Amino acid sequence: MFSILQSAGWPIWPLLACSIVALALVIERFSSLKIMKIAPPKLLGEAMIVSRSALPPPDVVKKLEQNSLLGKVLASGLHALGTNPRISEADLRSTLEGAGRQAAHTLERYLAALATIASAAPLLGLLGTVIGMIEIFGSQPGNANGNPAQLAQGISMALYNTAFGLMVAIPALIFWRYFRARVDDYLLTLELAAEQFMRHLNRFRK
């Protein structure tokens, strides 16, 4: 492996750094985008049962807020209504939407970085290819036969960098699209749950 890195030359090192960062981001997103951390299936129903006859006490609301991202969104509505029982429907909706935007920001964290790596890796590989071609042409200044060792080094540098750039970019792109679709599904779930909880909370406005 180390001999391949040596043959690829210095342009391979930025690609290697990109691959390490991309792997770390993929592991982090898999860990963070679990359904129990985002939107537990039964949480909305439990929140509506707890607040069926009256607003729950602050400790219950805090527990709900710490449960998941969906819990934070639902708890924001309970906080707003508990602070101001005469809150207008528009203000209550705005509170839930604001919490939803914060949740969306959390869900989309690091996706831009993963997309950047997926876009930049082929360009870094192309850079290594161009540098390898320069090595090839530089090995034969005015000499038809050229220097075979430098010629081989230039070709290997060009090919290794091209291949490694694609090896980094393709998985990064696949995982970015996968996480993007997963985040979109979660956002829809949060939006529908917030809308349903909004209608539920309207009964407590005075």
Nearest alpha-carbon partner for 122 in 167, 166, 170, 163 = 166
| Type of residue found at 177 | R
Instruction: Provide the token pair at 143.
Output: 């000499």
| CA gap 194, 93 in Å, rounded | 9
Coil vs helix vs strand at 147: coil
State pLDDT tens for residues 89-123.
899 999 999 999 999 999 999 999 999 999 999 99
**pTM attached to this predicted model:** 0.84
State pLDDT tens for residues 29-60.
999 999 999 999 999 999 999 988 888 999 99
Nearest alpha-carbon partner for 164 in 130, 126, 134 = 126
